[in-house]
């Protein structure tokens, strides 16, 4: 019988398996290797002890977890003689009122995952036996796990900070390809981190280890397309399947949550569909929107809430939110993606206890086909090579931006190599467009949008109904025409919630179902917004004090100079902390300011983020 534990932080050291069958047991090389292993394990043990982590396995490998977040759980030494199942969760889930009782008497990964996918959604499962170890992530591996080869074995941890504190040399060497991808797209592909020797687990990955075989990596939990495309399905049947999938997912992921359930209502399709579906099923819900009066999404959300008949509250939108929430971003996301996602942390203003439920529309856009038409205007793809080629062309920044990044890094970006990375991550499917949807989910959404869940999950029991295996299979089995321009999602809204279909989406100019009243309201909103935007930067209380919160071309010459001075000084820190020398000459800075994205200061802000990351790494404690 195994014992259970919940954690949000763990560290594992898996010794290298010394092959006695290939060299004499007492040979100098074997002795030296074993000494290295003992030295590193001792270092890991001392670090974990100094950070109050509880040791769960110490003999053949080392595993320690933070069990302090759940004061009700204790593991006595006698318990540790049995196999231990550890569920690695976000802190908000541990504080929720859910029951994580994995009651199977023997190892049963399918049953464990079914339970964890329903209640946790974002998790890692660890099964620790006396002479073997296994870790499996949720399908997208949203809660990060990092792996690094070190002296005498492999370090695996839930945090870059812990690995770099134990082995500081790993933090010093940055991967220029990863940094280039970050500056060009806001994230790095697949298992890449900013560091050469540090790898993030891939989607659905399993890390296995045993005394006999050593380290083994595989991807048994990766999403795959298991159903044939429903080419002849009637629209009404498709709408019914989508409705059933949404209702089943809400039931599966919300049944154990605290009530009332909070929902982030943005004014888009996903949040209005979820809010209306939950209202129709009599869930007690409260809707929240952050913003200022001139933000169109706020006014759209207000009309949606009134139409549904639910409580709706407005949250403040501090203009310096980006800079204020950067420490949270560094601790929760560890700097590994574009930091503009920090605006979602405005939802942390919701007055609710830790562990309260918050519904988020993560993955609604890609599974409904929001990018398909832009990336693949015609359904003429015949191979995964063509998919990779189209994806690379769609993701490629303007040529001037590419030249700028190459100049900053003094590094020629290899697009053929990048295309090869994209191609290697494409999962086979019945039709190539399905592979493109899965690639978007496993890369762009995982790296750019899922940080929402990591930050909000520090406080909330985050529920993401669209992040559901059955939901994904339902959508991706639909014919291509159903996904073009979100056709099926739009029809579902018009069919199931016709009044909501009359309200324009906040980014669009017309509703799904034309309505004169809403069109006139939209016109009035647009005119008022355009008039105000001209004065926006000069109105007291509407101009951010932090230069890094400026956008839309608001920075004046003095503020632009401050940005340049800041990143020039920061470049020195990047050289000090990492082996990274940036070309931040006056000529390069002038090119940055004249680039097409000058008004949003994107490149400047990303360099600033790298500097803040260097400060964060430099401040980490170093293990003795």
Copy the structure tokens of residue 350. Answer: 């919701």
| pLDDT, tens digit (0-9, with 9 covering 90-100), for 326-351 | 999 999 999 999 998 999 999 999 99
Within a domain: 623: no
238 and 329 share a domain?
yes
More confident site: 519 or 416: 416
**CATH number, domain containing residue 333:** 3.40.50.620
441 and 457 share a domain?
no
Within a domain: 624: no
348 and 382 share a domain?
no
Within a domain: 522: yes
Q: Give SS3 for 210.
A: strand
Choose one of 414, 447, 480: the last residue of a domain: 447
**pLDDT reported for residue 555:** 75
Q: Which residues of 293-307 are buried (b: 16+ CB within 10 A; e: fewer)?
A: ebbbbbbbbbbbbeb
* Residue percentage of the chain with pLDDT more than 90: 60
Position 230 confidence tier, pLDDT thresholds 50, 70, 90: confident
Return all residues near 541 (Cβ < 8 A) that are at least 6 apart.
none
CA angle 60, 66, 70 (to 5 degrees): 130
| pLDDT, tens digit (0-9, with 9 covering 90-100), for 399-408 | 888 888 999 9
172 and 320 share a domain?
no
Distance between CA atoms of 615 and 326, rounded to whole angstroms? 12
Rounded to 5 degrees, φ, ψ at 233 are: -70, 140
Residue 355 has pLDDT above 90, yes or no: yes
Distance between CA atoms of 258 and 114, rounded to whole angstroms? 21
Residue 20 has pLDDT above 50, yes or no: no
205 and 143 share a domain?
yes
Least confident of 2-6, 62-66, 77-81, 476-480: 77-81
271 and 393 share a domain?
no
**pLDDT reported for residue 88:** 96
Closest to 262 in 3D by CA, of 301, 91, 254: 254
Give 264's strand partners. Answer: 288
What is the DSSP track for 112-163? HHHHHHHHTSSEEEEEE-SSEEEEEE-TT--S--EEEEETTEEEEES-HHHH
Position 69 confidence tier, pLDDT thresholds 50, 70, 90: low
**pLDDT reported for residue 109:** 93
Least confident of 255-264, 293-302, 451-460, 608-617: 293-302
| pLDDT, tens digit (0-9, with 9 covering 90-100), for 469-496 | 999 999 989 998 899 889 999 999 999 9
Choose one of 417, 447, 477: the last residue of a domain: 447
**pLDDT reported for residue 180:** 95
Q: Give SS3 for 169.
A: helix
**Where does 420-522 show beta strands of DSSP type E?**
461-463
441 and 458 share a domain?
no
**pLDDT reported for residue 305:** 95
Region 600-609: what's the mean pLDDT?
A: 84
Question: How many domains does the structure of the chain reveal?
Answer: 4
**pLDDT reported for residue 237:** 93
Closest to 122 in 3D by CA, of 95, 97, 99, 144: 144
Give Cα 153 to chain centroid, integer Å: 28
**pLDDT reported for residue 125:** 96
Q: Is 485 exposed, middle or buried (0-12, 13-18, 19+ CB in 10 A)?
A: middle
Least confident of 214-228, 270-284, 476-490, 526-540: 526-540
**pLDDT reported for residue 75:** 65
Position 603 confidence tier, pLDDT thresholds 50, 70, 90: confident
**CATH number, domain containing residue 117:** 3.60.20
The pTM of this model reads 0.92
Q: Which domain holds residue 399?
A: 371-447
Choose one of 430, 447, 464: the last residue of a domain: 447
318 and 268 share a domain?
yes
Region 140-158: what's the mean pLDDT?
A: 95
Residue 71 has pLDDT above 60, yes or no: no
**pLDDT reported for residue 73:** 63
Distance between CA atoms of 316 and 523, rounded to whole angstroms? 25
Position 370 confidence tier, pLDDT thresholds 50, 70, 90: confident
350 and 438 share a domain?
no
Rounded to 5 degrees, φ, ψ at 200 are: -85, 145
376 and 277 share a domain?
no
257 and 201 share a domain?
no
What is the DSSP track for 52-101? TPEEEE-SSSEEEE--TT-TT----TTGGGS-EEEEEE-HHHHTSS----
Least confident of 173-177, 235-239, 547-551: 547-551
Mean residue pLDDT of the chain comes to 87
Within a domain: 201: yes
Residue 136 has pLDDT above 60, yes or no: yes
Cis peptide before 260 (omega within 30 of 0): yes
Closest to 222 in 3D by CA, of 327, 102, 277, 140: 140
Task: Report the residue count for the chain.
Answer: 624
Region 491-514: what's the mean pLDDT?
A: 79
Please report how the helices 602-618 and 326-333 are oriented relative to each other, as an axis angle in degrees rounded to 10. 70
* Residue percentage of the chain with pLDDT more than 70: 86
**pLDDT reported for residue 79:** 56
Q: Give SS3 for 499.
A: coil
Distance between CA atoms of 345 and 567, rounded to whole angstroms? 25
Residue 241 has pLDDT above 70, yes or no: yes
Region 6-28: what's the mean pLDDT?
A: 71
Within a domain: 79: yes
**pLDDT reported for residue 25:** 38
Q: How far from 256 is each of 114, 120, 347, 461, 537, CA to CA, in Å?
A: 15, 10, 22, 10, 46
Distance between CA atoms of 604 and 607, rounded to whole angstroms? 5
Distance between CA atoms of 56 and 62, rounded to whole angstroms? 8
Least confident of 137-151, 377-391, 564-578: 377-391
Within a domain: 257: yes
Rounded to 5 degrees, φ, ψ at 72 are: -80, -15
261 and 303 share a domain?
yes
Residue 22 has pLDDT above 50, yes or no: no
Residue 354 has pLDDT above 80, yes or no: yes
**pLDDT reported for residue 74:** 63
Position 591 confidence tier, pLDDT thresholds 50, 70, 90: confident
């Amino acid at each position: 019988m195994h014992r259970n534990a919940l954690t949000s932080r763990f560290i594992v050291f898996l010794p290298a398996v010394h092959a006695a069958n290939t060299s004499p047991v007492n040979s100098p090389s074997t002795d030296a290797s074993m000494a290295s292993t003992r030295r590193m394990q001792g270092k890991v043990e001392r670090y974990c002890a100094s950070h109050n982590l509880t040791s769960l396995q110490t003999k053949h490998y080392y595993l320690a977890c933070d069990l302090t977040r759940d004061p009700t759980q204790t593991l006595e030494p006698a318990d540790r003689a049995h196999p231990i199942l550890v569920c690695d969760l976000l802190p908000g889930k541990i504080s929720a009122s859910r029951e994580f009782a994995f009651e199977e008497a023997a190892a049963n990964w399918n049953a464990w995952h079914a339970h964890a996918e329903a209640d946790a959604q974002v998790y890692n499962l660890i099964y620790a036996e006396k002479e073997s170890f296994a870790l499996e992530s949720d399908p997208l591996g949203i809660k990060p796990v990092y792996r690094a080869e070190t002296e005498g074995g492999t370090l695996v941890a839930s945090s870059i900070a812990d690995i770099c504190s134990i082995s500081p040399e790993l933090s010093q060497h940055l991967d220029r390809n990863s940094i280039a991808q970050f500056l060009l797209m806001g994230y790095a592909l697949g298992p890449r981190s900013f560091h050469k020797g540090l790898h993030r687990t891939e989607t659905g990955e399993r890390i296995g280890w045993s005394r006999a075989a050593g380290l083994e990596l595989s991807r048994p939990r990766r999403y795959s397309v298991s159903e044939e495309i429903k080419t002849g399905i009637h629209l009404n049947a498709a709408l019914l399947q989508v409705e059933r999938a949404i209702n089943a997912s809400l039931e599966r992921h919300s049944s154990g949550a605290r009530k009332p359930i909070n929902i982030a209502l943005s004014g888009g399709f996903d949040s209005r569909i979820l809010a209306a579906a939950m209202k129709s099923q009599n869930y007690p819900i409260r809707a929240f929107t952050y913003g200022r009066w001139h933000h169109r999404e706020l006014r759209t959300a207000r009309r949606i809430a009134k139409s549904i008949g639910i409580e709706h509250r407005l949250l403040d939108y501090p203009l310096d939110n980006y800079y204020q929430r950067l420490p949270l971003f560094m601790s929760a996301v560890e700097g590994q993606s574009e930091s503009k996602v920090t605006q979602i942390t405005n939802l942390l203003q919701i007055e609710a206890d830790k562990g309260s439920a918050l519904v988020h529309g993560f993955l609604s856009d890609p599974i409904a086909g929001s990018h398909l038409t832009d990336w693949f205007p015609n359904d003429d793809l015949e191979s995964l090579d063509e998919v990779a080629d189209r994806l690379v062309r769609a993701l490629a920044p303007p040529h001037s931006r590419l030249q700028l990044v190459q100049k900053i890094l003094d590094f020629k970006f290899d697009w053929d190599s990048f295309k090869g990375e994209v191609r290697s991550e494409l999962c086979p499917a019945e039709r190539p467009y399905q592979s493109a949807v899965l690639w978007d989910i496993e890369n762009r959404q995982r790296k750019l949008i899922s940080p929402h869940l990591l930050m909000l999950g520090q406080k909330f029991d985050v529920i993401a109904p669209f992040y559901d295996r059955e939901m994904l299979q339902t959508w991706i089995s639909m014919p291509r025409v159903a996904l073009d321009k979100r056709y099926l999602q739009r029809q579902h809204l018009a069919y199931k919630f016709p009044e909501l279909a009359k309200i324009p989406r906040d980014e669009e100019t017309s509703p799904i179902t034309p309505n004169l009243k809403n069109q006139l309201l939209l016109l009035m909103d647009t005119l008022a917004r355009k008039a105000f935007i001209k004065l926006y930067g000069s109105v007291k209380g509407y101009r951010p004090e932090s230069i890094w919160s400026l956008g839309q071309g608001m920075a004046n010459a003095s503020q632009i100079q401050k940005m340049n001075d800041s990143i020039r000084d920061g470049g020195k820190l990047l050289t000090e902390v990492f082996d990274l020398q940036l070309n931040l000459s006056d000529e390069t800075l002038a090119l940055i300011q004249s680039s097409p994205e000058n008004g949003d200061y994107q490149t400047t802000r990303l360099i600033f983020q790298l500097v803040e990351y260097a400060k964060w790494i430099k401040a980490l404690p170093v293990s003795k």
